[in-house]
Amino acid sequence: MDKKAILVVSFGTSHKETRIKTIEQIEQDIGRAYPDFRIYRAFTSRLIINILKERDGLAVMNVKEAMERMHREGIKEVIVQPTHILNGIENENMLEEVHNCVNLFRSVKIGKPLLTSLEDFHKVITNLLNELPPLQENEAVIFMGHGTVRYSNACYMALEYMFRDYGYEDIYVATVQAYPALENVIKQLRKKNYKKLILLPFMIVSGEHALNDMWGEDKDSWKTVLEKEGYGVRCSLKGLGEYKSIRNIFIEHIEATG
């Protein structure tokens, strides 16, 4: 019987607690959905791979290493499923490394990132709306995305637009490293009579960005900046990977590879 495998590719995180709740949970869900496949892990962040190795003695392969290991272990058919939010730099790098190794296998199929099709947006939005805590009077939600310099960064604006189209005027999306930034969202907040805000990570894991850039005590953290603006701020540090409904979308993307 030919050996088949699914390589789950994540950016990675150096925070064990959120890794268990998100990345490992995604991998376990995929393993339960595909019991005839071996599940492999790869991270795209070399920095995180190095931190985990030096600090924790935990060895995590990069994509090239994982592809070569699967080949050595006799895998013939591979499905590569990223846990990336969109087709940004990390996903592009993953695709390049996978394509460089396709000749090692009889079949290599690649699943899509979380936000790829219009149906993906619909599912993500409806699932998140079911998970949101009840809003208090004069309260708004801000999702923190990572952002990318690639064209796919437009996904964040489309996401907020769709929230509006679905009738949710009090949900905003900002990014850490691209547009819209927090300052752009603050301009919109000032036009309303908001008194309180909820901050939530729009990231698979609740790692460095959520813990420090969003909810840290530094003067530049979103929490600090928004409190100086006069808002009462609360947060959820739940990464998207903790929601089963979101994890299911990755499984659907694997199914879509045919």
Give pTM, 2 decimals: 0.95
3-114+242-256: CATH number: 3.40.50.1400
Q: Is 146 a catalytic residue?
A: yes
CATH topology of domain 118-239: Rossmann fold (3.40.50)
CATH 3.40.50.1400-classified regions of the chain: 3-114+242-256, 118-239
Measured CA to CA, the distance from residue 63 to residue 90 in angstroms comes to 11
* pLDDT in 10s for each residue of the chain, 258 residues: 569 999 999 999 999 999 999 999 999 999 999 999 999 999 999 999 999 999 999 999 999 999 999 999 999 999 999 999 999 999 999 999 999 999 999 999 999 999 999 999 999 999 999 998 889 999 999 999 999 999 999 999 999 999 999 999 999 999 999 999 999 999 999 999 999 999 999 999 998 889 899 999 999 999 999 999 999 999 999 999 999 999 999 999 999 998
Catalytic residue among 84, 146, 209, 253: 146
What tokens does 10 get?
Answer: 């994540």
